[in-house]
Amino acid sequence: MLPANSRILIVDDEPSVCELVERYLSRDGYSCAKAFSGEEALNMLERGHYDLVITDIMMPGMSGLDLLNIIKTLFPDLAVLIITAVDDADTGVQAMESGAYGYIIKPFTRNQIRINVAGALERRRANMSQRREDSETLVRVRHDTGEGRKVVIPAKEIVKCIDSGMDDATLTGKFRISSEQLYGLFDRLVATGKLKPEDLEARSSLSPGSVAIDMPVMKLPETQAAKPVIKASDAVICIRCGMDDAALMKRYNISAKGLQSLLRKLIGAGLITEAEMKDRSLKQSEPVVLDEH
């Protein structure tokens, strides 16, 4: 069992479920708080520190999956466990694919809660330790020049990552750059002979380069059947909740090129504005420099 000072937020629209889980965990010395909606949970997360969220999947308004996706963006160090009904185990698997640390099927026992909580907290501890190590060895550096602050990325390191088969979402997350900046790096690597054009063409098999948007007013042509179909309303919610490019690409399994295609189509459909896209760009506005040595 992990140290009893771990703080846990229990989220369920049924107070009796919250109270039951709290009673189970309090016996082991965990500090628990309760929220009765996803919106209330987010407010509490913004005001205080927690190590783990346990949330029901089916809630009015914001679902447990919606809450999970927002948490993974805004509070990436936070572990999340999902509670789901016995006849909806597939949703639990979907939650795991979206970043949940596990799922618990109702009706559950105290022992099931204890085992899942201990496992999630231990995995969170290990992940945070690994991220600290990655941060210490991160090849991406910033330095001040006479022209201002820039991001410097060694060409050898990014080529090594590309050769290893890293997809666009992982590359943007590793180097903390936007999808547009990533494609700028690709162009520079080809221009300097460090990558061949065919190397980049081969990357198209890793993730799609274009997307189709599912909107009620738009009928998707048969020729687009092979493209990933993204629900427009879901994409808009994710963008407006602050998901960065890497998180969006991972969520929809698309490339940097595919993300740019998605954003252009959302703007063209009037679902997001040019001003919103400008704000996104400003948050990732530091110039990227390729260190060719």
Do 60 and 190 belong together in one domain?
no
Domain contains 1: no
Calculated CA dihedral for residues 49, 67, 91, 206, nearest 10 degrees? -90
Domain contains 206: yes
pLDDT at 219 over 70: no
Do 123 and 226 belong together in one domain?
no
Do 186 and 81 belong together in one domain?
no
Give me the residues paired with residue 141 across strands: 152
pLDDT at 205 over 70: no
Do 148 and 264 belong together in one domain?
yes
- Residue 270, SS3? coil
Where does 202-260 show beta strands of DSSP type E? 212-214, 229-231
Do 188 and 266 belong together in one domain?
yes
Domain contains 220: yes
How confident is the model over 113-143, as pLDDT tens digits?
A: 999 999 899 888 887 776 665 555 444 455 5
pLDDT at 157 over 80: yes
Domain contains 2: no
Do 163 and 283 belong together in one domain?
yes
3-state helix vs strand vs coil in the chain, percent to 5: 55, 15, 30
Do 129 and 159 belong together in one domain?
no
Domain contains 45: yes
Q: 227 pLDDT band (50/70/90 cuts)?
A: low
96-102, Cβ contacts within 8 angstroms, sequence gap of 24 or more: 98/65, 98/68, 98/69, 98/72, 98/251, 99/68, 99/69, 99/72, 100/68, 101/52
Domain contains 158: yes
The CATH number of residue 106's host domain is 3.40.50.2300
127-134, Cβ contacts within 8 angstroms, sequence gap of 24 or more: 127/77, 128/77, 131/77
Domain contains 159: yes
How confident is the model over 88-105, as pLDDT tens digits?
A: 667 777 788 788 888 898
Q: Show the domain range for 110.
A: 7-134
* pLDDT score of 55: 96
| Angle at the Cα of 53 from the Cα atoms of 46 and 248, rounded to 5 degrees | 70
List the one residue out of 58, 51, 55, 85 whose CA is nearest residue 68: 55
59 neighbors 40 (Cβ within 8 angstroms): no
46 neighbors 69 (Cβ within 8 angstroms): no
Domain contains 56: yes
pLDDT at 4 over 80: no
* pLDDT score of 89: 63
Which of these three, 106, 134, 162, is where a domain ends? 134
Which of these three, 119, 134, 149, is where a domain ends? 134
| Angle at the Cα of 168 from the Cα atoms of 53 and 213, rounded to 5 degrees | 80
- Residue 213, SS3? strand
Task: At 65, list the tokens.
Answer: 């999956």
Which of these three, 80, 99, 134, is where a domain ends? 134
Do 69 and 94 belong together in one domain?
yes
Do 146 and 284 belong together in one domain?
yes
Where does the chain show beta strands of DSSP type E? 7-11, 31-35, 52-56, 79-85, 102-106, 141-145, 148-154, 212-214, 229-231, 288-291
Q: How far apart are CA 272 and CA 265, in angstroms?
A: 9
Domains identified in the chain, total number: 2
Calculated CA dihedral for residues 73, 74, 75, 81, nearest 10 degrees? -60
Do 163 and 213 belong together in one domain?
yes
Do 89 and 217 belong together in one domain?
no
Do 115 and 148 belong together in one domain?
no
**Residues contacting 190, CB < 8 A, separation 6+:** 196, 197, 200
pLDDT at 276 over 80: yes
